[in-house]
Structure 1
């Protein structure tokens, strides 16, 4: 029980840590590291920490046929295990260099960092790397094999199709720390264009020059490529037929044209299907979905400036767009709508000033003043507007002097859908 509690506590402390962490330059988890037989292996694990944080100890492990401890760094002192004695050197604060590794020492290498953050809480960091040690050129068979790819490749940088030569196949997952050079039929030396799926590729310029193309490791990269001696001893040649190459390019261009035509045809058909669907739906809506409303009986005959005029008695509400509790009509569909209102005011010294609001914006205003000569007057408004589904339309007081006649049929607000929008 005590061990379980300690493990849970330690896991919680690790998950809360945000300061003691791997630096951005440290090897990533499960990174692939390559080196040559009888050379040095650098495992760069670097920990970033701030003031008040302490690295308690660092341990390194090697997982070959079995797991074994390589070394321990504790209190600033590096203790190396006997089987690695004289071959280990500390680099960064959690990385090591192993001297003279051999192909038999490939496998997984890992590190464990135990630290204390500024609050005194325990932090554990772990990472692992897969080490591949080569004895000779790191290809599937130790040789180079040059060939011409069966299909051309389109280059985004040149916006052209290119005949492509390939040379490999290497076992590096990522781009190797060197590149292959090619000798062209004219004797010119050019570098590979890119590395993809274990092969160095050369995109030939257009028009293609026929003849022999030879790939090889540059002399300056021989040691990095795990070649001992002259790198020119390892090479491969492919003969390029310029007529065959032109046919390869034509096939690629024709294939591209066909794909573009098919794509455009599919897009056109998709648009036709979409318009047909919308049209069918539109015709269906026109026939089966009617929207209209008519409401009377002003709830408040003396509304204040900017108050919504609420008419509570509904005589028609097809589509349920009008809400008598709020006085607002909400459009159920995109379309063109017609709205109109008949208003009757009463009271000397007062008047009628009303706005038609569409989605919070004033569409129009109607206003009349009774004056001292009379104590009643009428006004009306009408507008044909485009309204999107979900937008609201309402009547709103445009002054504080509004006084409406109290008769239930004296004032009204109505509207209907004229036409749908696709």
Structure 2
């Protein structure tokens, strides 16, 4: 009882204790943060702590055009360095907003939180973010470039091949906070299908409609895309030839057909190899045996009947010293036995044993006259490689003929398992 109480108390103490750590909503390590020139840069770092845990100080650093301290928070007082004076605002307990950042302030920003945990031990947390500041459209050259991909692309969602239009190339590592719109030859406005490796993609519907397709940043997203004043109307146009596009689709489908055929050939070759191996095994994995001449013609109860004269033992599965057949392969086997007995007050009662379990039983009674009588059994059973099959006497009144060929035990492999 005392041990149980101590265990429960220890479990409760462990479950209630925690260590100062980053909040789940805090920027992840090496996160990419994007903002526009002369805009606000928000670095949303936050630390989770419990009662008894204390933040001693927080320091923010910038590494880009130089390596310098941005600000330090100590004893509730935020002290900002001269180069960032008047532009830094504290958010949460470890995050800051830097107002009016410029493209010259791109680089790595980091934070260091020094704290004391509930045990009074010193704890330091550090995180870093990569900040990209755009002046105009955040592409490699400040422009949009639309073009048609040379090859068609297969879409898992539509299960079709599509002609693809591309517009970019942006410097965002992740998906930008906006999407590009496309104007089709019919004047319809549609959004990009996806963003991949700095480019917005538009998968054209089949059949492809030829004509001019124009990509642009929506007016509602101009400020997010760092477009200002007269630079907000940024677009690029690509002309799609419907005939060439259909040929592009046919080429893609043809390549896929050839690839499928190659794969089918590989699979057929594999099946052919397995079939050849199977046919080879059918010819080589042949198993059969036939044995006569019982070693003991008056066995006791549960004795194994042991035919000692082997006429056939293909596969060497039968052991004339034990009377048992051991399967060399997994498969279906057929076993047979023909037994002859005589004598008043005696009978034949024998079981076919498969891996120690009774599978078949034969029984015949000689009657009071004690004349000769014969009995036979036959069974088709599944046997695993290494399992044994034998004949076993039931009861103590078996009496068999002493003739060398009067009693027999035989078997053969019908089919083996792959």
| Conserved? CA contact 1:70–1:80, under 8 Å | yes
Counterpart contact for 1:161–1:253, Cα < 8 Å: yes
Q: TM-score, with normalisation over the residues of structure 2? A: 0.72
CA 1:293–1:29: 2 relative to 1, 3 Å: farther
Alignment match, 2:381? 385
Structure 2 Cα separation of the partners of residues 30 and 46 of structure 1: 15
- How much does 1:166 deviate? 0.9
Q: Does residue 94 in structure 1 map to residue 90 in structure 2?
A: no
Does the 8 Å CA contact 1:64/1:107 hold for their aligned counterparts?
A: yes
Instruction: Write the distance in 1 (CA, Å) between the matches of 2:207 and 2:69.
Output: 59
Structure 1 residue 220, shift from structure 2 partner: 0.9
The CA deviation at 1:156 is: 2.3
Aligned residues: 392
Aligned to 1:155: 155
- Conserved in 1, the CA contact under 8 Å of 2:307 and 2:408? no
| 2:275 counterpart residue number | 275
Q: Secondary structure at the match of 2:277?
A: helix
Q: Distance in 1 between matches of 2:304 and 2:261?
A: 59
Q: Tell me, in whole angstroms, the C-alpha distance in 2 between the residues paired with 1:213 and 1:265.
A: 42
Cα offsets for 1:189-219 (capped at 9, x unmatched): 2111111121111122222222221111111
| Of 144-153 and 243-252, the range deviating more from structure 2 | 243-252
Is 1:336 the counterpart of 2:332 in the alignment? yes
Change (3 A) 1:151 1:297: same
Residue in structure 2 matched with residue 43 of structure 1 by the alignment: 43
Mapped partners of 2:119, 2:374: distance in 1: 78
Q: Distance in 1 between matches of 2:375 and 2:115?
A: 82
Deviates more, 1:274-283 or 1:141-150: 274-283
Residues 253 and 367 (structure 1), Cα distance of their counterparts in 2 relative to 1, 3 Å cut = closer
The residue number in structure 1 matching 2:9 is: none
The CA deviation at 1:181 is 0.9
Is contact 1:293-1:318 (8 Å) kept? no
Q: CA deviation at 1:402?
A: 6.1
Equivalent residue number for residue 404 of structure 2:
none
In structure 2, the CA distance between the partners of 1:76 and 1:274, relative to structure 1 (3 Å rule), is farther
Consecutive unaligned residues of structure 1, counting only runs of 5 or more, are 1-16, 304-308, 406-410
Q: Which residue of 2 aligns with 1:136?
A: 136
Conserved? CA contact 1:23–1:47, under 8 Å? yes
Residue in structure 1 matched with residue 402 of structure 2 by the alignment? none
The 1:384–1:85 alpha-carbon spacing in structure 2 relative to 1, beyond 3 Å, is same
Q: Secondary structure at 2:27's aligned position in 1?
A: coil
Contact 1:216/1:232 (CA < 8 Å) preserved in 2? Answer: no
Contact 1:87 1:99 (C-alpha < 8 Å) held by counterparts: yes
Q: How does 1:17-416 map to 2 (within 5 A)?
A: 20-49=20-49, 55-74=55-74, 76-115=76-115, 123-230=123-230, 232-283=232-283, 285-286=284-285, 331-339=327-335, 356-357=353-354, 364-366=359-361, 382-388=378-384, 392=387
Structure 1 CA distance, aligned partners of 2:53 and 2:142?
A: 48
The DSSP-based 3-state class of the residue aligned with 1:226 is coil
SS of corresponding position for 1:70: strand
Would the aligned equivalents of 1:219 and 1:230 in 2 still touch at CA under 8 Å? no
Q: Which SS does the other structure have where 2:229 is aligned? A: coil
Secondary structure, aligned partner of 2:140: coil
CA distance in 2, matches of 1:31, 1:155: 30
2:8 is aligned to: none
Residues 378 and 176 (structure 1), Cα distance of their counterparts in 2 relative to 1, 3 Å cut: farther
Could you tell me how far apart the structure 1 residues matched to 2:75 and 2:388 are?
76
| Distance across 1 between alignment mates of 2:83 and 2:304 | 91
Q: Distance in 2 between matches of 1:315 and 1:84?
A: 105
Structure 1 length-normalised TM: 0.71
Q: Which SS does the other structure have where 1:258 is aligned? A: helix
2: CA distance, partners of 1:117 / 1:328: 75
Q: Does structure 2 retain, via aligned residues, the 8 Å contact 1:37–1:101?
A: yes
CA distance in structure 2 between the aligned counterparts of 1:80 and 1:311, rounded to whole angstroms: 100
> Which segment drifts farther, 377-386 or 74-83?
377-386
Provide the C-alpha distance between the structure 2 equivalents of 1:24 and 1:367, rounded to a whole number of angstroms: 76
CA contact (8 A) 2:287 2:317 kept: no
Distance 1:230 1:205, change over 3 A: farther
Partner of 1:420: 416
Residue 34 of structure 2: SS of its match in structure 1? strand
Structure 2 runs not aligned, ≥5 long? 1-16, 399-406
How far apart are 1:178 and its partner, in Å? 0.6
Look up the SS of the partner of 2:224 in the other structure. coil
For residues 74 and 83 of structure 2, the distance between their equivalents in structure 1, rounded to whole angstroms, comes to 19
